[in-house]
Structure 1
Amino acid sequence: MTIRLKKGFSAVFCSLAVAVACAGSFTVQAADAAKAGPLKIGASFQEINNPYFVTMKDALQDATGSIGATLLVTDARHDVSKQISDIEDMLQKGIDILIINPTDSVGVQSAVKQVHDKGVVVVAVDAQANGPLDSFVGSKNYDAGVQACEYLAKSIGGKGDVGILDGIAVVPILERVRGCKDALAKHPDIKIVSIQNGKQERDQALTVTENMLQAQPNLKGLFSVNDNGSLGALAAIESSGMDVKLTSVDGAPEAVKEIQKPNSKFIATSAQYPRDQVRLALGLALAKKWGSQVPATIPVDILLVDQAKAKTFTW
């Protein structure tokens, strides 16, 4: 099942419509759950200092509030040990559902198993997590890398040196890079001359890109695995005075604003839908909690946002 989402879905509709679509008959289970008191939902994010995850968190707060549930939110700060500890703490507080956005897909496996063994519904969002998940909702990250780098290749005339600004080793990032490499490999006159880790952070990406530009004076294009890092990369490109085209992934408001500027070096981003992803994750978790069978995976389409589309695109 692939989800194509349109702007304007309310939190309740997007969550519960999926639950109803996935469910058989759970009216009795839902009624019994309501009698037992408000659901307690835990959400563990890899970070919440990034606009993408802030948007996701805010959408989840709206959605859980609209159904009268209690929400506990934690920020792993890209520390898998902290994320495991946060989840253990939420289990002690008696959560019924866990929405997990892992900072390390493999490293959180023990925590996922603990949650499962406690009978708590666990759904991963945005990044896949190892272990006995009930479901996973995430963007088509491979497609995001392909689209962004096909657009980049076209913009530089199908030839020249290109760099990749990598990130942390979670499945979405790995898939974006794989998609980018596959897209660029179709152009024999394009050469990937540098792959550096900007850690998806603006300051880190700025420094890494500055070093890349100094080492690669013939660079024509750069792909960043996320918009937060791309904004640091853009600052480095602009300061250098070099003509380097930049593409990315996310669709963050600040990135979209930069893409709209005349003659911007930032030419496109493969946009995701963070609000809809987390609403779908909640809908699936509710359906499972109320006794339904749910899909193991829900892939969500992405949209390439260039200067023309940036005029109307929002999360």
Structure 2
Amino acid sequence: MKKITRRIAVAALLAASSAGAFAQNKVNLGVSIPAATHGFTGAVVYWAGEAKRDLEKKYPDLKITVRTAANAAEQANQLQDLLSVNKINNLLVFPFESAALTKPVAQIHDKGIYTVVVDRGLSDTSAQDAYISNDNVSFSRNAAEFMAKSLNGKGDIVILRGIATTVDTERVDNFNEVMKNHPGIKIMDAKFGNWNRDDAFKVMQDYLTRFKHIDAVWAADDDMAVGVLKAIDQAKRTDIKLVFGGASMKGMIKTLIDGTDPRIQGNIWFSPRFIYEAIRITAEARLKGEKLPATTIFPSPLVTKENAKQYYFPDSPF
């Protein structure tokens, strides 16, 4: 299991927000994130906007420019614009893809811009000063352990992957590592659903056509789980007893609380609000002329029917 340099609870970060005197450094922070291609990133865009509004109001020496990109090429171009047009002196970037964005981010970093990478990491970490994410290791290992227990250590499962990023690789590798301890569980296939419900629907249709029996699906994301469930229902398949998503979309958590779909038995807390906290701790550190720890990881605990109410936020955009 990958060593985590530093683990910080969100509550602790919130408590620390008012601490310390600021050294009135002028901070022009560029924030580059994916566009709302699915529910999770839609909420990321929302929370980034909230961070800009709240933090610029609180700190007069802080300017935040948020840019959203629908693909890797657009994000790479926007990074250059943030530097040449917006004159940023700090960057926080949520890469659309890992490999495709590593060189564009490195070019910014090489010009002396303090660079924080969030969530989907880069292929070369020398292109960053700090990394912030929810806990992708726990995200997948907790899911795998829960599914193995629910299946009593036996069954046929299929996997839907996200987008080709370090995050996806880390999740799938750790999921597979756990499943090695459960030889009675067979992983029949793993395909990319791009963290998108429509793409996941198509992948699941393919699985349903090729595999006459499936016990469970690791959708690895609640948006993909929605597409998976739609495909299962449309095919009128009754063999699939468990669909495990992730990221605690409010609709999924409500389903878990109410018990309205027996296939939804657990989830993983992986809130898109982490982008707000990432922007905040970056801005506050740079205003004081300080650097962040090399790695900051927010916890991703298991959500079950027993504790789901504490993770249900009906007013959340996701």
**TM-score normalized with structure 1 length:** 0.85
Mapping for residues 1-315 of structure 1, pairs under 5 Å: 1-6=6-11, 20=20, 27=22, 30-33=23-26, 39-68=27-56, 69-77=62-70, 79-92=71-84, 93-129=86-122, 130=124, 131-239=126-234, 240-244=236-240, 245-260=242-257, 261-288=259-286, 290-314=288-312
How big is each residue's C-alpha offset from its partner over 1:62-81, in whole Å with a ceiling of 9 and x where there is no partner?
Answer: 2332232443222222x221
Cα distance, 1:70–1:31 mapped onto 2, change above 3 Å = closer
Q: Work out the CA distance in 2 between the residues paired with 1:103 and 1:276.
A: 17
Given that residues 92 and 279 in structure 2 are in contact (C-alpha distance below 8 angstroms), is that contact kept between their aligned partners in structure 1?
Answer: yes
Q: 249-258 or 189-198: which moved more?
A: 249-258
Q: Would the alpha carbon gap of residues 48 and 16 (structure 1) be closer, same or farther in structure 2, given more than 3 Å must change?
A: farther
1:23 aligned residue: none
Kindly tell me: are residues 54 and 16 of structure 1, through their superposed partners in 2, closer, same or farther at Cα, counting changes over 3 Å?
A: farther
Instruction: Give unpaired runs (5+ residues) of structure 1.
Output: 21-25, 34-38
For 2:51, give the aligned amino acid. Answer: A
The answer to whether the 8 A contact 1:225-1:249 is kept is: yes
Instruction: Tell me the secondary structure at the aligned position of residue 108 of structure 2.
Output: helix
3-state DSSP of counterpart to 2:104: helix
**d(CA) in 2 for partners of 1:65, 1:241:** 47
Aligned-partner Cα distance in 1 for 2:256–2:228: 13
Q: List alignment gaps of at least 5 residues for structure 2.
A: 1-5, 57-61, 314-318
Task: Return the letter of the residue paired with 1:98.
Answer: L
Which stretches of structure 1, 4 residues or more, deviate above 4 A after TM superposition?
13-17
Aligned 8 A contact 2:29 2:89 in 1: yes
1:258-311 deviations in Å (ceiling 9; x for gaps): 333334312222111321354134313441453223211111210111223223
Distance 1:106 1:223, change over 3 A: same
Q: Distance in 2 between matches of 1:301 and 1:197?
A: 25
Cα RMSD (Å) of the superposition? Answer: 2.3
Give the superposition deviation at 1:232: 0.4
Q: How many residues align?
A: 297
Q: Is the 8 A contact 1:223 1:247 kept in 2?
A: yes
CA apart distance, 1:178 = 1.2
Contact in 1 for aligned 2:29/2:283 (Cα 8 Å): no
